[in-house]
Homo-oligomer: A and B are copies of this chain.
Amino acid sequence: MSRPVEAVIAQAREFLGERITTNAALREQHSHGEDSQPRSLPDAVAFMERGEEAARVLALCHQHGVPVVPFGAGTSLEGHVTPVRGGISLDLSRMTRVLQVNPADMDCRVEAGVTRQQLNAHLRDQGLFFPVDPGSECSIGGMCATRASGTAAVRYGTIRENVLGLQVALPDGRLIETGGRVRKAATGYDLTHLMLGSEGTLGVITEIQLRLHGIPEAMSAAICQFDDLAGAVDSVIAILQAGIPIARIELLDDVQMGACIAYSKLDGYTARPTLLLEFHGSPAGVAEQAALAEEITAGFGASGFQWATDAAERNRLWKARHDAYWAALALRPGHRGLATDAIVPISRMTELIVGAKGDIEQSGLLAPIVGHVGDGNFHTVILVPPGEDGLARAWALDKRIVGRALALGGSCSGEHGIGIGKREFLEAEHGAETLAVMRQIKTALDPRGIMNPGKVFLN
């Protein structure tokens, strides 16, 4: 007797041909993201070229009760793309067409496999850019599925504020359009936002209508250092309250700054709490913003405020920030990195980070801190020692930090999502009844439970 998945593979082969495969290397490649969850193989990998194909595969899987796990660039940090119950890994990485760019409306439509870097390269000569920047080479479909954000969210918003509409293949094989091209609309339920952050458990995002922004006339970067963490965080609150339209504002703690100095050769700085800032606007506006930010940070004990308007120096500083993860890993060769993602209201940030630093010390592990402080979000890159209990110790530390964030009115994830790793915190964060409502919606749209099972909800 053949298994249901074999029926799906046979029937999908009729329209996908060799694009559905049980090749061992491809299955292995689709067994994990960039996370620390146990790997698990899909039964087959299916490479999509159009949303219609995704819908057809879903219809088959729905009919046969076979799990489907969407796969974009495979950069998930919480196990989203791991097929914990096998089934079909639905790979969207070949859907890389930029379908439409409308400069007058500052919007565009892309297929789910387009990466942020691809899109921005495509847009550059039109004076437009897509601002959501999680740092990694992720796909825009994946960013939508996890409700991603990154360093520029403080100014330009997260993916939530930059998606106008979606094409979604539903679990039963319907292919729908949500939202539209208009800037705002008050016409029925907001299915777009329901899908953003649903982590592939309600459907597969196949096309995205995005808002774009004009490349600012001028940009400048600044850096300053503090003797204590509180001064750095309090500066951020004051800068936001002053209404400075800061484009990016990132915190590096003493350990992370030390790592970056070594890794990125940042001469002239010391291993102290550091803020890295970026300003966008007119030349005069950027200068004014920087002067005001300097004045505010000086009031909180900052020293060495430097600002750089030339692209080379700005890129050098921000490249160091983007390489922070690798700089952290370089502190302990042979260790893996486990990224935490807690977020709190900004006023509780100092309390959270100081507490987290105590937790890190107590754990005996090394864990540099980088933070999207303008959002109240920060990551510790816990360096996981090799050997049996290394990962368990790292998870325990992650759990302690999440517990602190929840106690301060925060959330276990600012931007990485729930996936497998954060499921245990969802009820504590939202309450049992709110979680029950999420499950009702899940059941309504995916009655057979084929969409990315084992994610978001604990069974």
Contact = CB atoms under 8 A, between A and B. Distances in A.
A213 interface: yes
A438 B191 contact: yes
Interface in A205-239: 213-217, 237
Nearest to A445: B440
A62 interface: no
Contacts of A215: 243
A411 interface: yes
Contacts of A429: 180, 187
A153 B104 CA distance: 18
Nearest to A344: B182
Contacts of A444: 440-441, 443-444
A433 B176 contact: yes
Nearest to A128: B241
A189 B198 contact: yes
Given A243-B216, A285-B288, A444-B444, A434 B183 contact: no
A346 B183 CA distance: 9
B282 A176 contact: no
A320 to B, nearest CB: 24
A418 B214 contact: no
Kindly report how many copies of this chain are found in the complex they form together. 2
A190 B194 contact: yes
Interface in A64-101: none
A149 B184 contact: yes
A308 interface: no
A158 interface: yes
Nearest to A447: B440
A25 interface: no
Interface in A278-292: 281-282, 284-285, 288, 292
A404 interface: no
Interface string A401-443: 0000000011111111110001001100111011111101111
A157 B156 CA distance: 11
A157 B216 CA distance: 20
Nearest to A411: B185
A438 to B, nearest CB: 5
Contact of A418 (B188, B241, B345, B443): B188
Nearest to A149: B184
A151 to B, nearest CB: 13
A433 B184 CA distance: 21
Contacts of A217: 243
Nearest to A436: B174
Contacts of A377: 182-184
Contacts of A216: 243
B347 A147 contact: no
B187 A411 contact: yes
A39 to B, nearest CB: 23
Interface string A240-258: 1111010000000000000
A418 B187 contact: yes
Contacts of A416: 186
A20 interface: no
Given A194-B194, A412-B187, A346 B148 contact: no
A451 interface: no
Contact of A187 (B104, B175, B426, B445): B426
B106 A438 contact: no
16 contacts: A106-B241, A147-B186, A149-B184, A160-B193, A174-B433, A180-B411, A183-B375, A186-B341, A186-B413, A186-B417, A187-B426, A187-B430, A191-B437, A284-B284, A285-B288, A444-B444
Interface of A: 102-107, 127, 146-149, 153, 157-158, 160-161, 170, 174-178, 180-191, 193-194, 196-198, 202, 213-217, 237, 240-243, 245, 281-282, 284-285, 288, 292, 341, 343-347, 375-377, 409-418, 422, 425-426, 429-431, 433-438, 440-445, 456
**A-B complex: 9 closest residue pairs judged by Cβ atoms:** A193-B193, A104-B347, A444-B444, A214-B243, A185-B411, A147-B186, A105-B345, A186-B417, A176-B434
